[in-house]
Each structure stands twice: as C-alpha cells, then as structure tokens.
C-alpha cells in the first residue's frame, strides 16, 4: 500500500464525494458500454448527447444496434464526434455481445476472458475495455485515462515505466489491501473521484490549485516556477 496515494484519494472523497457520477450502479450495462466507446477522445457532454439520441431511438441494445443501418447509426451518434468511426465501433461491440450469447453472457465471463474479447473487438483499446470491465461488469479493474495520469503525475507519484499496464498495476498495488479503495467498488470509486477532480480542479489549463485540499502535498502546486494557480474562492 502507498499511504500518500490513499491520503490523496481520501482528500478527493472530501472534495468531490458529494458530486454525482454519471454511471451509478443502476445505469444499464449497455448504456455504460456505449458511453465508454462514445466518450473516446471527446467530452462527456458530447458523448451524452449521442447516448440520449440512441436511447430515444430505442437503440441502447446490442440486437437493435446490430440490425440498424450504418447511416442511421452514424446520424444518431454524430454529436459525439468521429461519428463514422464510432458508429462502426458500436456495431463491432454489438457483434461481440451477440457472439457471446448476449451482453449478459459477455459480462458474466471471467475477467481475463472478458478483457480478451473486448480488446479483440475493433475500436476497443485498453482504456475502453477496462472502463467496461469496471463500470459495466463490476470487476476489480482500475481504469487508467488521461485524467488519472495527469493528476498523479502532478502529485508527483506514479510507476517507473510509463505504459498503460504499468500505471494499472501501480494503482492496484498502491491501494491494496485497503478496504475502501481496493476491490471492484474501490476501483470504481477511485476512478470516478479522479475524473471529477481532474475536470473541476486539476484541469489541464488553469488548474485551481488554490481550491485544492491536496495542494500542500502536491509537487505541481509547489513548483518554484509555479503553475498558474487561481486563488481559492471555491466552497466544498
């Protein structure tokens, strides 16, 4: 276990614990999967528009997706950007579902096999696969994304080697066996908090270090040539 990392997560809980996260446990698994694909390299607001359009069309379902005309699908997911690619990615994921005997069967597979099948699906890479494992299948899998790497790099901690797998293993080792942050629920909670934190305070540009409880322990916030930190006028 890595105490500074655990303390960091506790601080995130204090700052963002009351915020709502767009994938609560009752979100339908297919909606989570579609969202994970549609949010690739875009903002959540754009992805959410596409999800709502799919919902309105009754297309948050692998069978419906698989039987929907490609042009129609492209039109539905247009607001998420890269709509031609993403329409094909949804089709490919729907095919993976059907090949497994349905979404429920796919998500019931053992984690290694589930991850293998997701990664073998065109359009699904490590991050999207782990997002689905964690939030749709409820597995003990850490999601590594741009937010995760940015916040931990700024904090001044991280794996020695800068690959996706190294970050993932480092995170898992950093929290285990802490009951609150390890395990499936812990991994999901930690990632959700990191995303909220990176969006609201630890932003790429104009980070609001002045509002951040972690500031005393953050390398980035205390650099001599300091980042442009705003002064605190933000309440928790």
Task: Point out which residues bind DNA (CB under 7 A).
Answer: 22, 36, 39-46, 49, 78-86, 121-129, 131, 143, 145-147, 195, 199, 204
CB of 134 to DNA, least distance (A): 9
CB of 150 to DNA, least distance (A): 9
CB-wise, 78 or 180, nearer to DNA?
78
CB-wise, 37 or 214, nearer to DNA?
37
CB-wise, 160 or 177, nearer to DNA?
160
CA-to-CA distance for 65 and 91, rounded, in angstroms? 6
CB-wise, 72 or 84, nearer to DNA?
84
CA-to-CA distance for 83 and 75, rounded, in angstroms? 8
CA 52 to chain centre: 19
CA-to-CA distance for 193 and 43, rounded, in angstroms? 17
CB of 144 to DNA, least distance (A): 9
Using alpha carbons, select from 185, 224, 178, 230 the residue that is nearest to residue 8: 178
CB of 24 to DNA, least distance (A): 12
């Amino acid at each position: 276990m890595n105490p500074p990392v655990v303390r960091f997560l506790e601080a995130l809980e204090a700052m963002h614990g009351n915020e709502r996260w767009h994938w609560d446990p009752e979100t339908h698994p297919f909606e989570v999967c579609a969202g994970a694909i549609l949010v690739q390299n875009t903002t959540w607001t754009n992805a959410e528009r596409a999800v709502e359009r799919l919902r309105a069309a009754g297309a948050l379902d692998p069978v419906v997706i698989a039987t929907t005309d490609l042009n129609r699908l492209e039109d539905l997911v247009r607001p998420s950007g890269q709509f031609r690619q993403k329409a094909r990615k949804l089709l490919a994921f729907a095919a993976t579902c059907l090949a497994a005997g349905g979404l429920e069967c796919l998500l019931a597979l053992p984690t290694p096999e589930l991850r293998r099948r997701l990664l073998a699906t065109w359009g699904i890479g490590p991050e999207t696969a782990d997002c689905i494992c964690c939030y749709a299948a409820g597995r003990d899998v850490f999601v590594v994304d741009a937010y995760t790497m940015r916040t931990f790099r700024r904090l001044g901690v991280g794996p020695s080697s800068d690959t996706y797998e190294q970050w993932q293993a480092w995170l898992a080792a950093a929290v285990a066996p802490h009951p609150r942050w390890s395990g499936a629920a812990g991994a999901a909670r930690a990632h959700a908090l990191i995303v909220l934190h990176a969006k609201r305070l630890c932003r790429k540009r104009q980070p609001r270090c002045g509002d951040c409880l972690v500031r005393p322990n953050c390398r980035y916030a205390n650099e001599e040539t300091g980042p442009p930190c705003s002064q605190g006028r933000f309440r928790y």
